[in-house]
Amino acid sequence: MSSEWTIGIIGGSGLYALDSLEDAQWIGVKSSFGEPSDEILCGRIGDVRVRFLPRHGRGHRIAPGELNARANIDVLKRAGCTDVLAISAVGSLREELPPGHFVAVDQFIDRTKARADSFFGSGFVAHVSMANPVCPRLSKMAAAAVGKGGGKATLGGTYLAMEGPQFSTRAESRLYREWGADVIGMTGFPEARLAREAELPYALLGMVTDYDAWRENEKPVDVSEVIEQMGSNSALARKTIEAFVAALPEKRAPSPIDTTLDDAVITAPDNHDPQLVARLDAVAGRLLRMARGQ
């Protein structure tokens, strides 16, 4: 395992580039799972390698349900990322999480549908644990970095992943509050699932833009409200990313997530589908090399 950090940053709504990157250049990385959202902006902050991918593409071209999350995670793995910090615009389901607040989420409820949510399948079956879906080490550092950037963050919270692209009905918004969800968004899943399958420690910072639709006596969320809040949120997100990278320990200690697939793959090697194995050369590269004795 490498003791050096290569941080993947997935930029959410309003965050389409990182001006603070040194020696930055956009590089196209091909995926065996189709087209990713965009090229990867490769550079560094200080001595740390950073790989930035705008989730919706530059210019916000791709709707949440049309994102190729498999390709996005695959190209970050191919670009050498050791860890991933995702930034995502979210609606708040709690009074104490106002617009402008950041939440380092630690749990998810998945209400998406019809999205490709696994790298594995027939011929190479794997069941990874999602009991604790984010990397606590990254989440703690990310929440602390928000404070260093001048903002406020809550460590821990449940993210309700909805299909979209429409916003919630009031009944849905109230129901999600009863379920214990704290924020709601359209992109956290299957992204977090796929990062775990790719053995990438992953954390998600939710940037609150609105109060969704549960406040009965107030206007529900609309795009104009989200866009208005995104400007200040994105500025804080950039400062947060810089502070996050600057605070990384000089050497990267191993994470249990680095070897997730050791306890997940159930298909015997003799029964592996060669075509699927070929597509998994990055996602499951460590495990496949071990199986070959490399």
Task: Summarize the annotated binding site for phosphate as residue ranges.
Answer: 13, 55-56, 88-89, 187
Contacts of 85 (CB under 8 A, 6+ apart): 7, 8, 9, 10, 138, 142, 202, 203, 204, 205, 241, 244
Enumerate the known binding-site residues for substrate.
186, 210-212
Q: Which of 210, 262, 263, 281 is catalytic?
A: 210
Answer positive or negative: Cα dihedral of 67, 69, 223, 149: negative
- Please say if 83 is a catalytic residue: no
Tell me which residue of 219, 196, 156 sits closest to 73, measured CA to CA.
196
Q: Which two tokens stand for residue 135?
A: 């990397």
Q: Which of 106, 212, 270, 281 is catalytic?
A: 212
Give the whole-angstrom CA distance, residue 12 versus residue 213.
21
- Please say if 182 is a catalytic residue: no
Q: Which two tokens stand for residue 154?
A: 């809550």
Give the whole-angstrom CA distance, residue 287 versus residue 201.
16
CA distances from 149 to 85, 210, 214, 275 (A): 16, 21, 30, 46
Q: What is the 3-state secondary structure (H, E, C) of 122-149?
A: CCECECCCCCCCCCHHHHHHHHHHHHHC
Dmax of the chain from CA atoms? 64
**Residues marked as catalytic:** 210, 212
